[in-house]
A = this chain, B = another copy of it.
């Protein structure tokens, strides 16, 4: 029964609520009330239903309600290169297949291909992502169109870009981008040097200054594989991590992608400097880069999130598959089944990711006052039956395709697996057409 003074709200979600709050509270028969773009209340359904009068109630017979997943490292537009070339040595893959295709990209293609990735992300439960790519303005346009929450950066390096031309022009480009998106409610611009081996110290420093000026993350591929580390040691006499440290660039603004090759000493340094890490197990596996020492990073207090990397090296952007892979990979690598639990993998994909992006007060959990980024899974499925432990099911048994509803910033972006903001058929068709041009180079 409603209380007389019940509060009006937009949407009431009913089901088992996986809050991902500090105690990782799970509320059986729970509810989440959303007012505008915010979560107003989280608690037992009986209580919340009395307190709120919703315009709409969203539920399912076996609904699991949880925070939208946070993908901390991707190159969305690489959806157009999904499966273009696989099972090749890294340098053959990059130089003979990926780079030639990237040289033929145009902004409009990046827009369409990024939208395709966003469709896939929404349909597999991701509500926020951090993207590094060419034509970032087009990526941002696509993100704006999709309704997703995003952190977007234009990748810079010492050589000319198919987008902005010379590196100096790149600095102008990112400055303009940061200015224009300064007040966007969902899109945050980041400063993205490609990597230590492709960016001069001057370029790294210039981008770090911009990150400070715009109070935004500084995102860089770092210590991804043995080749990179050896190249940098040869050039600078130190590892990629110590190269950045000696340039004075390591601090809480840095999001370091991959970090497969981190030493114990470097992990301690990351913890001391507050450097954040984007862990991409599937890409690291597929490219045979190695296994990042994530359990050690977590033990040392480093903030870690989970990322898919681009679809050319994964070949999907499904964070449910990524959680499963993360938990299993570390167990077998360390021959210890306790070294990464389902709960830890779930944390990496939610609150961990939010903290990597410096947004843990806005997203990553279902708590009053946070932004309403919420997904609903249908657990009334053979592969999710029976149900003993919801975290275990979310990591080891659920699939992205079990997500049926998605809300971002208080707006429903998927209902019953139909996207409300995007026309997925049209987007697929555009990418299919573009693909012919891309591959043939015509």
Contact = CB atoms under 8 A, between A and B. Distances in A.
A300 interface: no
B338 A289 contact: no
B87 A124 contact: no
A331 interface: yes
Contacts of A168: none
Given A316-B397, A428-B380, A328 B331 contact: no
Interface residues of A, number: 73
A2 interface: no
A257 interface: no
A138 to B, nearest CB: 18
A202 to B, nearest CB: 33
Interface string A72-110: 000000011011111111100100000000000000000
A156 B189 CA distance: 62
A302 to B, nearest CB: 21
Nearest to A335: B288
Contact of A399 (B84, B328, B400, B434): B400
- What number of copies of this chain does the assembly contain? 2
A291 B332 contact: yes
A431 to B, nearest CB: 6
Interface string A310-344: 01001111100100110111011011111111100
Interface stretch (A52-60, A139-147, A210-218, A278-286): A278-286
Contact of A282 (B85, B328, B428, B432): B328
A239 B275 CA distance: 47
A101 to B, nearest CB: 11
Contact of A337 (B287, B325, B328, B427): B287
A269 to B, nearest CB: 25
Interface stretch (A4-12, A33-41, A178-186, A386-394): A386-394
A253 B136 CA distance: 59
Given A321-B324, A428-B385, A90 B337 contact: yes
B86 A285 contact: no
29 contacts: A83-B388, A83-B389, A83-B392, A83-B393, A84-B389, A85-B388, A87-B327, A87-B331, A87-B338, A88-B338, A89-B337, A93-B337, A120-B383, A123-B382, A123-B383, A226-B335, A286-B337, A288-B334, A288-B336, A289-B335, A311-B397, A315-B392, A315-B396, A325-B328, A382-B427, A382-B428, A385-B428, A388-B439, A399-B399
Interface of A: 79-80, 82-90, 93, 116, 119-120, 123-124, 226, 282, 284-291, 311, 314-318, 321, 324-325, 327-329, 331-332, 334-342, 380, 382-383, 385-389, 392-393, 396-397, 399-401, 424, 427-428, 431-432, 434-435, 439
Closest 3 CB pairs of A and B: A285-B328, A83-B392, A386-B435
